[in-house]
Amino acid sequence: MKQKAAVSIYLVIIVLMGVLMIATAVSSFMLLQQKMSVETGLSTQAYQAADTGAEWALYQINKFGYTTLSNIKSNNSGLPFQCSEGSITVGSCSYCLIFTPIDPLDENGLISTVKSVGKCGNVARAIKLTF
């Protein structure tokens, strides 16, 4: 009788360990899925912030004819226009712009590319416009 009780307890412990391992695996999978979901949301917001920056740059170029670094610098209303100068906040995210002239040494040269970098949380996304 004691032997049957010991075997029963042993089997119950093995079954409970199996259930515990399955529960641990399921919970870690669910936590991973939740983290990926949050990062996907941040990625989308960062992309939208980068898109906002790209739209602002296109507006400045098309509406006002700001086609060189020097006239963007002199007409940007004090906003940082290069990532090295800071970023512009949009809601809980931000964006910064990188204007590159055809000749990087010539500030009065025509702009050839605009890169808009959106950041939200620890996620960054970029859009590059080439003229």
Quote the pLDDT of residue 76.
61
What mean pLDDT comes out for the span 91-103? 87
Q: How far apart are CA 111 and CA 108, in angstroms?
A: 9
Q: What pLDDT shows up at residue 102?
A: 85
Please determine, for residue 125, whether its predicted confidence score (pLDDT) is greater than 90: yes
* Rg of the chain over all Cα atoms, to the nearest angstrom: 28
**In the chain, % of residues over pLDDT 90:** 37
pLDDT at residue 69, as a whole number: 74
CA angle 118, 84, 131 (to 5 degrees): 65
Mapped to the 3 state alphabet, what secondary structure does the chain carry?
CHHHHHHHHHHHHHHHHHHHHHHHHHHHHHHHHHHHHHHHHHHHHHHHHHHHHHHHHHHHHHHHCCCEHHHHHHCCCCCCCCHHHCCEEECCEEEEEEEEECCCCCCCCEEEEEEEEEEECCEEEEEEEEC
Say what the pTM is: 0.70
- Give the pLDDT band of residue 100 (cuts 50, 70, 90): confident
- Residue 60 pairs with which residues in a beta bridge? none
pLDDT in tens, 53-68: 999 888 888 887 777 7
User: Hunting for tokens 């209303």 — which residue is that?
Assistant: 77
